[in-house]
A and B are shown apart, each in its own frame.
Chain A
Amino acid sequence: MNIYVLLKQTFDTEEKIAIENGSIVEDGVKFIINPYDEYAVEQAIQLRDDLGGSVTVISVGPDRSVEALRTALAMGADEAVLISDDRIPQDEYAVSKALHAYLSKQNVDLLLGGNFSVDNGGGQVAIRIASLLGIPHTGSVTKLEINGDTALVHRDAEGDLEVSVVTLPALFTAQQGLNEPRYPSLQGIMKAKKKPLQTLTLDDLGISPSEITAQTSRVELSLPPVRNAGKILKGELQDQVRELVGLLRNEAKVL
């Protein structure tokens, strides 16, 4: 089974955000595999171990993304592909077209990705690719079982559980609860250094920048207003609780 995993390198979720000269500061930031993509990588490795085949992780991003791809290789993926080209704009339409240019030339049995990325959080790219490839998809899956040429999936739909059977090839996006991603072993890290990792440009993919022009653009970037510490109540707990309810009704005007 040829399994492909869409992966994005993101800021660690414990990082604070700072803005300088209209962009987000990346200096000194710890980068990780987008947590939802990590579930996808883990699932791909488990399925390959059960069913045979290979796992290819693929990313669009700057050169630093190599680190995240190497981590996925160290977890157990077989190959990695980085599409890195400054001419690819930060726009989901464009990114999905670039990924599609690569994937449409592969023999894809199963395509996995994360439910969304914890940076931009648009949740578009994976599902757009399913549409571009003309394959079905299920988003936000918490269970994925392959039975021949179909998949049995559990989808988390705002807390409800939808059980469905999907004909392969198909795309699934991972939700928390799908699995517990492994840490790369020392042996895995050593092996990863020798695994194939290719870097492609738009020219390699045979597409011109005019085919992937951005359909949206950023006008402004800002930080949310700072929240200040409010009132810590004092006294007996019962009195504090009474005071709190009073404050909510009379000062905050809620409830």
Chain B
Amino acid sequence: MSRTFLVFAESRDGKLRQVAFETLSAARASAEAGDQVLALVVGSGASSIAGELAAYGADSIYTIEHSDLNQYNPEGYFAAVKKAIDETKPDAVLFGHTAIGRDLAPLVAASLQAGQISDVTAISRSGSDVVFTRPLYAGKAFEKRSFTSSPWVVTVRPNNIQAPAPDSGRTASVTALTYPAPSLRTIIKEVVKKTTGKIDLSEAKIIVSGGRGVKSADGFKPLEELADVLNGAVGASRGACDAGYCDYSLQIGQTGKVVTPEVYIACGISGAIQHVAGMSQSRIIIAINKDPEAPIFKIADYGIVGDLFEVVPLLTAEFRQVLNV
């Protein structure tokens, strides 16, 4: 019997996020031939960006446009997703494991009396049996989990399940649904965009991260310059956050964010277990530290023993030259 997978395709600032394509890819990886993969896009302008999802694997696309949905509000977004669920009766609902998906998926799971597998990093399928891999202890261990009942709710960690190359030959129907406009007990008063123009840590391909060795808030400037040249994001260790050098939203580790970039450049980070848990799944790790005995060198692919305030600007200059930026 064919099944239906509904993907919540997240957008930001009027554009679909990369994680939307990755979540679609996760649905496709869970689906057998003949199964249907549906996508939902919400917010003003949803219908103008929805079409792009066809090329990435959506069979049918649903949109819900309403000004309530231009900014994340748990109640408004839940009402929208519930509307799409009532309309399409999916066997599984998938979200990105993002600020929105992490918050929204448990509401959907609870309302459906469903199980949820969170923060999935890999999917394997044999027939209709699907096994989801996810980290425990921020990546100090991994478990494989499966569902024992239906429907399923899944959140997919950004940057782990590759989005397919777009196939511009694919087409999908686009259906507009009506927002059921619940009365909201949560009123969003203001959104302070601190990240405009910056690359989100969880989606960044390159992360330049600073620890206690950065010594001050100003000490992050050379790291920011390197990140800019590499089109990457800046992160931090708990030590740097606790010392007040940067915002907690930059923290990487077992408390904080878990990241899996292509390249992780650890500057002045000793490599405490709790930090390593949050970044050890990065593809390439580079350590820059004055202390040759720092534990970070034990897991780094490449290490430079030296003062980050000397090394990082040299690295920035070298990349500028080589990359022509």
Residues of A at the B interface (CB closer than 8 Å) are 11, 13-17, 19, 24, 35-36, 91-93, 96, 116, 118-132, 136-140, 142, 156-167, 170, 175-177, 213-224, 227-233, 237-238, 240-242, 244-245, 247-249, 252, 254-255
Partner of B131, one of A92, A139, A219, A221: A219
Assess whether B149 is in contact with A220, with CB atoms less than 8 Å apart.
no
Tally of chain B residues near chain A (CB < 8 A): 97
Assess whether A255 is in contact with B318, with CB atoms less than 8 Å apart.
no
Contact flag A233-B303 (CB < 8 Å), given A162-B188, A176-B251, A227-B280: yes
Bound: A238/B316 CA distance, A? 11
Most buried by B among A16, A17, A157, A233: A157
Assess whether B143 is in contact with A220, with CB atoms less than 8 Å apart.
yes
B191 contacts partner chain A, Cβ-Cβ < 8 Å: yes
Assess whether B315 is in contact with A252, with CB atoms less than 8 Å apart.
no
Residues of the B chain whose Cβ atoms lie less than 8 Å from the Cβ of A217 = 145-146, 148
B225 contacts partner chain A, Cβ-Cβ < 8 Å: no
Assess whether B107 is in contact with A131, with CB atoms less than 8 Å apart.
yes
Assess whether B103 is in contact with A139, with CB atoms less than 8 Å apart.
yes
Residues of the A chain whose Cβ atoms lie less than 8 Å from the Cβ of B299 = 227-229
Assess whether A245 is in contact with B318, with CB atoms less than 8 Å apart.
yes
Given contacts A92-B115, A121-B137, A217-B145, list 16 more A-B pairs with CB under 8 A.
Answer: A93-B114, A119-B137, A121-B136, A122-B116, A157-B99, A158-B201, A159-B247, A162-B72, A163-B189, A218-B145, A223-B141, A233-B302, A241-B304, A242-B318, A244-B286, A245-B319
Bound: A91/B152 CA distance, A? 13
Residues of B at the A interface (CB closer than 8 Å) are 71-75, 98-100, 102-103, 105-107, 109-111, 113-119, 131, 135-149, 185-195, 198, 200-202, 206, 230, 241, 247-251, 253-256, 262-263, 272-274, 277, 280-281, 283-286, 292, 297-306, 310-311, 314-315, 318-319, 322-323
Partner of A248, one of B113, B137, B263: B263
CB distance from A14 to the nearest CB of B (A): 5
Assess whether A229 is in contact with B298, with CB atoms less than 8 Å apart.
yes
Residues of the A chain whose Cβ atoms lie less than 8 Å from the Cβ of B117 = 216
Assess whether B144 is in contact with A241, with CB atoms less than 8 Å apart.
no
Assess whether B148 is in contact with A215, with CB atoms less than 8 Å apart.
yes
Residues of the B chain whose Cβ atoms lie less than 8 Å from the Cβ of A161 = 191-192, 194
Assess whether B191 is in contact with A219, with CB atoms less than 8 Å apart.
no
Most buried by A among B137, B251, B263, B274: B137
**14 A-B Cβ contacts within 8 A?**
A13-B255, A13-B273, A120-B136, A126-B106, A158-B98, A159-B194, A170-B185, A176-B255, A216-B116, A218-B145, A232-B304, A247-B302, A249-B322, A255-B319
Assess whether A255 is in contact with B263, with CB atoms less than 8 Å apart.
yes
- The 3 A-B residue pairs whose C-beta atoms are closest, nearest first, are A215-B115, A131-B110, A127-B106
Assess whether B318 is in contact with A214, with CB atoms less than 8 Å apart.
no
Contact flag A138-B72 (CB < 8 Å), given A124-B109, A227-B285: no
Residues of the A chain whose Cβ atoms lie less than 8 Å from the Cβ of B283 = 252, 254
Residues of the A chain whose Cβ atoms lie less than 8 Å from the Cβ of B200 = 158-159
Partner of A13, one of B277, B297, B300: B277
Q: Which residue of B lies closest to A91 (CB)?
A: B115
Partner of A36, one of B135, B253, B255: B255
- Helix, strand, loop or mixed for chain A's interface? mixed
Assess whether A128 is in contact with B110, with CB atoms less than 8 Å apart.
yes
Residues of the A chain whose Cβ atoms lie less than 8 Å from the Cβ of B262 = 254
Q: Which residue of B lies closest to A242 (CB)?
A: B318
Residues of the A chain whose Cβ atoms lie less than 8 Å from the Cβ of B206 = 255
Q: Which residue of A lies closest to B205 (CB)?
A: A254
Residues of the A chain whose Cβ atoms lie less than 8 Å from the Cβ of B315 = 241, 244-245
Assess whether B191 is in contact with A163, with CB atoms less than 8 Å apart.
yes
Bound: A175/B143 CA distance, A? 25
Bound: A245/B194 CA distance, A? 31
CB distance from B316 to the nearest CB of A (A): 9
Q: Which residue of B lies closest to A127 (CB)?
A: B106
Assess whether B303 is in contact with A216, with CB atoms less than 8 Å apart.
no
Residues of the B chain whose Cβ atoms lie less than 8 Å from the Cβ of A132 = 110
Bound: A127/B193 CA distance, A? 25
CB distance from B37 to the nearest CB of A (A): 21
Residues of the A chain whose Cβ atoms lie less than 8 Å from the Cβ of B113 = 93
Assess whether A254 is in contact with B263, with CB atoms less than 8 Å apart.
yes
Assess whether A124 is in contact with B118, with CB atoms less than 8 Å apart.
yes
Partner of A238, one of B263, B280, B301, B314: B314
Bound: A121/B116 CA distance, A? 12
